[in-house]
Amino acid sequence: MTQNLHSFNPRSENISELLKQLTLKIVYENIFK
């Protein structure tokens, strides 16, 4: 799992940023629905 993730995108900080944005998006959609 971790190896696949790293081969997909070695820059893990980008993955963290994407996850953070996704989480914020979901939270906002739940708040403002």
Measure the CA–CA gap between 17 and 9, rounded to whole angstroms.
12
**Sign of the CA dihedral 23, 24, 28, 31?**
positive
Return the domain boundaries, the chain: 2-31
Where do runs of H (alpha helix) occur along the chain? 2-8, 12-31
10 membership: H or E segment, kind and range: none
- What pLDDT was estimated at residue 10? 58
C-alpha torsion angle, residues 2, 30, 21, 3 (rounded to 10): 10
In a structure prediction context, what are the per-residue pLDDT tens digits for the chain, which is 33 residues long?
Answer: 555 555 555 566 788 889 999 999 999 999 987
